[in-house]
Amino acid sequence: FCSGCRALQPPGHRPDLFRLMDCDRSFRIDAQQLQRRFRSLQRAVHPDRFGQRPPKEQHYSEQHSSLINKAYQTLLNPLSRGLYLLELNGIELAQETDCDADSVFLMEIMEINEKLAEPKNDDVLEEIETLIKVKQEELTKEVTAAFER
């Protein structure tokens, strides 16, 4: 907002999503704090609040709202947050980097796919869900530790 006239200004060209959401630039985030900041920012710039304002401000409001949504989704999701952190540090991954994936991990994925191909019952699906959640937690801890080094 303009400090003089309080008119909404355009968003920056490539804003730091961590700064926008008032988070430390770290893989470890406080999801509740992120959600509170998201809601606070959306209340301030949501397009519904700018319906009676000049068209330029309405457009800026839409841009800000879209950027805030993008920031929230990017930082909330561990994978997108990690990729964004790498990008901020000048590291860009090639699109097809999974060809070097750990063979043990690939075998685990294949086993899960085989279980999913079998006739399904609730017990099997719950077992697979638990297995995936445990693996996701393990991998997230490993990635967190790697970013903190």
Residue 7 in any domain: the answer is: no
Instruction: Give this prediction's pTM.
Output: 0.73
What is the residue-wise DSSP string for 95-107? TTGGGG--HHHHH
- Are residues 141 and 122 part of one domain? yes
Cα 41 from Cα 36, distance rounded (Å): 9
Structural domain span for residue 82: 17-88
- Are residues 75 and 43 part of one domain? yes
- Are residues 101 and 76 part of one domain? no
Digit-by-digit pLDDT tens for the chain (149 residues) are 666 677 788 888 889 999 999 999 999 999 999 999 999 999 988 888 888 888 888 899 999 999 999 999 999 999 899 999 999 988 877 665 555 567 777 787 788 777 777 767 788 888 888 888 998 888 888 888 888 87
Residue 147 DSSP symbol: H
- Are residues 83 and 28 part of one domain? yes
Residue 115 in any domain: the answer is: yes
Question: Coil, strand, or helix at residue 77?
Answer: coil
